Amino acid sequence: MQKTDPAIFKAYDIRGIYPEQINEDTVYRTAQAYAKFVSPKVVALGRDVRLSGEKLWEAAKNGLVDHGVDVIDVGVISTDMLYFAVANYRYDGGITISASHNPKEYNGMKLVRKDAIPISGDSGIKDIKDMVLAEYAYKSDIKGNVETKDILQDYLDKCLSVIDVKSIQNFKVVANAMFGPAVQNVMKMNLPIELIPLNEVPDGNFPKGQPDPLQEQNREETIELIKEKQADFGVAWDADADRFFLFDQNGRFIPGYYITAFLGEYFVTKNSGGKVIFDARLTWANQEKIRDAGGVPIVNKAGHSFFKERMRQEDALFAGEMSGHFYFKDFFYADNGLIPFLILLQIFSETGKSVAEIFEPYFENYPISGELNSKLSDPSQVKFILDRIEAQYAGSRIDKIDGLSIEFADWRANIRGSNTEPVIRLNVEARSPKVLREKTGEILTIIKG
């Protein structure tokens, strides 16, 4: 029995390098601890396309079955398909073997309980970690059963239920799956669009590097193909297909911040007084668009588990993070990668405007720095840096919902430590590009000083 690396237990999930940090033994014991913690009778178990996924799936299955838990094998899935399976079929919980958008040498586990409610650092991962480190083990007298279930069509039907397919125009769309399942799933929807697929065949080798469209270098071939094919717009997903990304007809990347504000306004216009949740990193566009449309804007700490919890508390219509996670009341208060694509298809069809026309006012009125990451030699430096910035801008409006946010009349910034790596993240927004440049440089100097 190998010793478990406690560093794999993160704020939102379990993640590490295979097999040095996370291996069959660790996954078996984590599944055992999960069974003890949740006390489920039936659990959905899936995996993403990673090469180590099959072995780790088998280890998780054995850990559950040995504990007397029945397992529903839902196969190779997107992460949002796990949420769907657990909530739609009313299982007692679910696990997917996935490391999301991390490089190919990583793998991990995302854990949910009944109703697809996530188990995070402050709602169970620490308890499960303690049991794993204490080498908890249990073998039931009666083993659990394993049943295979194909959930794809039910999942696609659920996603399609949010739009009127007949209203969709014949757009030409470049779609980059980053070697995950997203584009294959879109193809099975038979939408009346001309789809130009890219990296659509699932491949856990991730032959073009880390499968994360948020990294600028990973957008280049999508942008080139949009221009080459003169597409109406482009879309992309990460490898586990729970995050969605958009490009206009010129190949310009549309930040998740702007999509959140745009969709927030759309939902509130249809449901006056509705609540929309967004993260503290960038807020002005969300606050102004949602409030002007008659809705209630709510700022929340970043992270999918924090968002889902707040969605339920507030009975919110919609939520979005600038990272590309979008959450829907009509999808069990969970995030989904296909629904934003479908809703935008319908909106673009109905407005008759190009994607560039729709989003140009956001670029003009809400200029942003983009997320700027500075590596630290030691994560303990974060507090020291935040204290220095707070002292420097003592005259500002300050909040600490997530890291440190400072706000003046013509600019605001959010500075926070990463939950997963020794990095400090900076986001700045301003009323003019000139102020944006000045203040971004000012704060970076303090961070690097």
How many CA atoms lie within 13 Å of 318's alpha carbon, on the beta-carbon side? 27
Cross-strand pairs, 173: 195, 233
What tokens appear for 43 in the block? 């659990």
Distance CA 151, CA 75 (A): 9
CB 47 within 8 Å of CB 113: no
Residues near 216 by beta carbon (within 8 Å), at least 6 away in sequence: none
| Enclosing H/E stretch for 443 | helix 433-448
One-letter identity of residue 166: K
Chain centroid to CA 148: 27
Distance CA 18, CA 403 (A): 31
Question: First CA to last CA across the chain, in angstroms?
Answer: 45
Q: Please name which of 414, 427, 405, 421 lies closest in space to residue 255, comparing C-alpha atoms.
A: 427
Catalytic residue, chosen from 78, 100, 120, 405, is: 100
Q: Is 349 a catalytic residue?
A: no
Distance CA 283, CA 17 (A): 35
Distance CA 427, CA 429 (A): 7
Distance CA 230, CA 354 (A): 13
Angle, alpha carbons 77-255-326 (nearest 5°): 40
C-beta neighbour count of 446 within 10 angstroms:
15
Positions marked active-site:
100
